[in-house]
Amino acid sequence: MRRIADYLVAYVKDSAQAVSSSWDAFWFTPADPSLLGVLRVLTGLMLLYTHAVWGLVLPEFFGESGWLSEPLVRSLTDGQYNYSFWWLVPASGMWAAYWASMAILALFTLGLWTRVTSILAFLVTVSYIYRVPPATFGLDQINAMLTLYLAIGPSGKVLSLDRWLAVRSGRTPAGRPRPLASANLALRLINVHMCVVYFFAGISKLQGEAWWNGDAMWRAFANYEYQSADMTWLAWHPRIIELMTHTSVLWEISFAALVWRPRLRPIVLAFAVALHVGIGACLGMWTFGLIMLVGCASFLPTEAIGRLVEALVPARQRARTASEVVPAIASPVA
């Protein structure tokens, strides 16, 4: 009996150590921060676009006599306090606050003072969301999620003015940056969050009858409010509609399980591209589709992205002084 007990104790101890090692490796294995830099630029461009759109109707939403007054927002949120700097901005300072927000988002996108501007960009993003919650959607939530995790990680280490200035001054050697555990942590947070988003999106659909009988995709295609491409021809092909409906739900639910397997990951991500590009082309939700693909891009191999960025951003690898450095900042393509 004693030998069995000793065996069980050793087994539990070894299993616990294996789980602990796997946990540490998953979250804290140093990773090339190049992918984070790419995600920062893409997310920053989307933030600039979405907040520029707010600027087209700023008085209507954020003005003193806007559509969503403070008492109305309080009542819609059950009296809960919404953390937004807009509650502190006087009517005369509305445009000043808006342009200050745009400046912060621009600096974040360019990667200047990224350690500070990334945090400020997150505060700007959530402040807009909390000020007008009835007018925000999934795009705004994914914007906030990505910005938060980019603020946690070293997103300014690559493809940034911070990097260029550091290399030019000689504080940082030219060439690829060293792998960082904090970069991997930020990427893993995005990975896990995307898995949660897709899983709950899938199981929530199962509560609707249209997703069981296969009519859900047709209802979306036939809705003229969202229709940007005429897909009514699918009415004569119900089997295709049913296949699209069931495949979409199955993919969302299985995403969290399949995307971690290296051999299946390209297929899972390819389906993500097809799904979100299809949503953008057929239903006009381009911004939402693109920001979801930015989140999916967090699953791309960091080493390959690092080599790609290095090839697209030629820098003199042997630079010794500031005068020898040729600054180059590439513009990533989504």
Please report the pLDDT score of residue 80 as a whole number: 66
- Please determine, for residue 324, whether its predicted confidence score (pLDDT) is greater than 50: no
Asked if residue 248 has pLDDT above 80, the reply is yes
86: closest CA among 32, 134, 36, 125?
125
Q: Are 259 and 195 in contact (CB under 8 A)?
A: yes
Q: Rounded to the nearest 10 degrees, how much is the dihedral formed by the CA atoms of 305, 308, 310, 313?
A: -120
pLDDT at 311: 83
Per-domain residue ranges of the chain: 32-172, 182-311
* Residue 213, both tokens: 């009988």
Segment 164-223, tens digit of pLDDT: 898 888 887 777 888 899 999 999 999 999 999 999 999 998 888 888 888 878 777 777
Residue appearing with tokens 């209802």: 219
Query: Which pLDDT score is estimated for 325?
Result: 36
Nearest C-alpha neighbor of 176 from the set 326, 29, 315: 315
Q: Which pTM value belongs to this model? A: 0.85
The whole-angstrom separation of Cα 267 and Cα 9 is 42
Please give the residue that has the higher pLDDT: either 79 or 1: 1
Low-confidence winner among 17-21, 41-45, 67-71, 270-274 (lowest mean pLDDT): 67-71
